Amino acid sequence: MLKQKLADVFNEPGCEKNQAKSDKDRKKGCTVKGLTPGAAAGGCAFDGAKIALQPVVDAAHIVHGPIACEGNAWDNRHAASSGPELYRMGFTTDMSELDVIYGGEKKLWKAIKEVIAKYDPPAIFVYQTCVPALIGDDVIKVCATAAEKFGKPVIPVNAPGFAGSKNLGNKLAGETLLDYVIGTEEPDDARPTDINLIGEYNLVGELWQITPLFDELGIRIRAGITGDARYHDVACSHRAAVNMLLCGQAMMNVARKMEERWGIPYFEGSFYGIEDTSASLRTIARLCVQQGADADLIERTEALIAREEARCWERIRSFTPRLQGKKVLLYTGGHKSWSVISALQEMGMEVVKSSVRKATDSDKSKALELMDGDAEALVGAIPNPEMYRMLRAGEADIMLSGGRTQFVALKARTAWLDINQERNYAYAGYDGMVELVRQMDKAVNNPVWQRVRRPAPWDADFTGFDA
């Protein structure tokens, strides 16, 4: 069962990367190299599945497994809800040694029953994990029986950790939605300006940086898949007019299969950076009109874009006096890093190095153009010791990177800002870009750096106290 699913998601025809592979490589899955023991980082498939589904905020999410899978991880993400809080509660069968010996199906059944009795959620997602998968607990069967008996959706999420990486878990979560949720209910208010945002999880509430724009244009989010989602909305999401696919290829399967099954056109877009935000809004408007929305939507969208872009650039420029001349080390995957570079340069900041580890060729050439052809400034992976050396030596005033290198910067006593793209970027839309700049100002201009970099009185390079 899981094997078929894996073959299916590895075969995703909508994924460019996948289609570029040989048949042999495709079978190996998305992480072609495989995970290297002793040199792997990141979450497992279960982690990825949970990330992708937990933002269904009114559902209960039960983890079937020993304590580590939920006990070490519950309520640890920043997917925000505008209402229900049930998704933040941790539910787990907390399997004991006896459960491992005798099997955990009965305990899971009882757990589902208890959760329904106490919390009565509109739906329950049940996550399979490694240990019960290994001992052969049939989560799919237990869920099917429970759904029938209790008369509500009980959805098995078959993505045990050992199946693969976090990214794979995202994909399997998408398959789960396609198999059990999307299209299972009918809305009574479908409009040609209804859209779904696929692969958007409303991390740190970034969705709400975009919704005012949609509201103004009369565009309605039918469902976030799954950011700030209600179960009912996801179940009805097949009646949306347009699908926007965010965050790269992880949920490509959902977008493509929804097009296949319900004829919903989709496009890949991003609300990260000014150019991408505008482009995404334009595409949404165009596709909505194509799906029957009033043609004036396009004009209204253009007017909004012109106004917001001007306002955004003006606000960014207002930071110039505080940020001009500051040196930035930009350490992201490199995907779309050029759009950050252009904003930084607008304020007169100097990008000393930008990593292009995972960048596409077009990303690279755009970045290179912005960097005046300085190929040496575009780098691959920087090993931590070298990164530490650069920052300690003051080669940059601030590093923008993901959480993994946070302490390299801080221990080198250098300003740091989290702009992790793997978690779908926390600074969305026009306001988000201004917010990013504001945060950067706050970080790099904090007087703390002068204080913590000063040698101690007993150090050889101590030069005396302030006058």
Partner 1 sequence: MTIYPPANVLVQKKACSVNPLKSSAPLGAAMAFMGMDRCQPLFHGSQGCTAFGLVLLVRHFKEAIPFQTTAMNEITTILGGIDNVEQALVNVAKRAKPALIGICSTGLTETRGEDVAPELRLIRQRNPELQNTAVVYASTPDYVGGMQEGWAKAVSAIIEAFVPARNQAAPLTPIRGQVNILAGVHLTAGDLEELREITDAFGLEAIILPDLSGSLDGHVPDTYCGTSYGGTSLEDVACMGASVATLAFGEHMRKPAEDLEAKTGVPSRLVLNATGIEGCDRLMVMLSEISGRPIPPRFRRQRSQLVDAMLDAHFHFGGKTVVMAAEPDLLLAYSTLFNDLGAVIPLAVSTVSTPSLQRVPAATVQIGDLEDLELGAKEHHADLLVTHSHGRQASARTGIPLYRVGFPQFDRLGSAHRATLGYRASRDIVFEVGNLFIEAMPNHLLRHGHDEHGDHSVHHEGACGCPGTLEASHGCSHSASC
Report the residue number, 214 or 449, with the smaller CB distance to partner 1. 449
Task: State which of positions 377-396 bind partner 1 (CB under 8 A).
Answer: 384-385, 388-389
Cα 384 vs. chain centroid, distance in angstroms?
24
SS (H, E, C) 58-126: CCEEEEECCHHHHHCCCCCCCECCCCCCHHHCCEECCCCHHHHHHCCHHHHHHHHHHHHHHHCCCCEEE
Amino acid identity of residue 10, one-letter, is F
Give me the helices (H) in 165-273, please: 166-180, 211-217, 231-235, 252-262
Among 107, 222, 326, 336, binds partner 1 (CB under 8 A): 107
Taking the complex as a whole, how short is the minimal distance between the CB of residue 88 and partner 1, in angstroms?
A: 6
Interface with partner 1 includes 17 (CB under 8 A)? no
DSSP state of 358: T
Taking the complex as a whole, how short is the minimal distance between the CB of residue 425 and partner 1, in angstroms?
A: 19
Taking the complex as a whole, how short is the minimal distance between the CB of residue 94 and partner 1, in angstroms?
A: 4
Report the residue number, 19 or 450, with the smaller CB distance to partner 1. 450
Binding piece for partner 1, criterion CB under 8 A, among 70-78, 185-193, 218-226, 231-239: 70-78
Long-range pairs for 261-270: beta carbons < 8 A, 24 or more residues apart: 261/183, 262/183, 262/238, 264/196, 264/238, 264/240, 265/290, 265/291, 266/198, 266/242, 267/242, 267/243, 268/244, 269/244, 269/245, 270/246, 270/336, 270/425
Task: State which of positions 127-166 bind partner 1 (CB under 8 A).
Answer: 130-131, 133-135, 160-166
> How far, in Å, CA of 81 to CA of 100, rounded?
35
Among 36, 321, 362, 458, binds partner 1 (CB under 8 A): 36
> Collapsing DSSP states into helix, strand and coil, what is residue 133?
helix
Taking the complex as a whole, how short is the minimal distance between the CB of residue 388 and partner 1, in angstroms?
A: 4
Interface with partner 1 includes 69 (CB under 8 A)? yes
Taking the complex as a whole, how short is the minimal distance between the CB of residue 112 and partner 1, in angstroms?
A: 8
Interface with partner 1 includes 114 (CB under 8 A)? yes
Interface with partner 1 includes 102 (CB under 8 A)? no
Taking the complex as a whole, how short is the minimal distance between the CB of residue 79 and partner 1, in angstroms?
A: 15
Among 1, 22, 23, 76, binds partner 1 (CB under 8 A): 76
CA 351, 356, 359 angle in degrees (round to 5)?
130
Taking the complex as a whole, how short is the minimal distance between the CB of residue 8 and partner 1, in angstroms?
A: 17
Interface with partner 1 includes 51 (CB under 8 A)? no
Interface with partner 1 includes 403 (CB under 8 A)? yes
Interface with partner 1 includes 110 (CB under 8 A)? yes
> How far, in Å, CA of 283 to CA of 297, rounded?
11
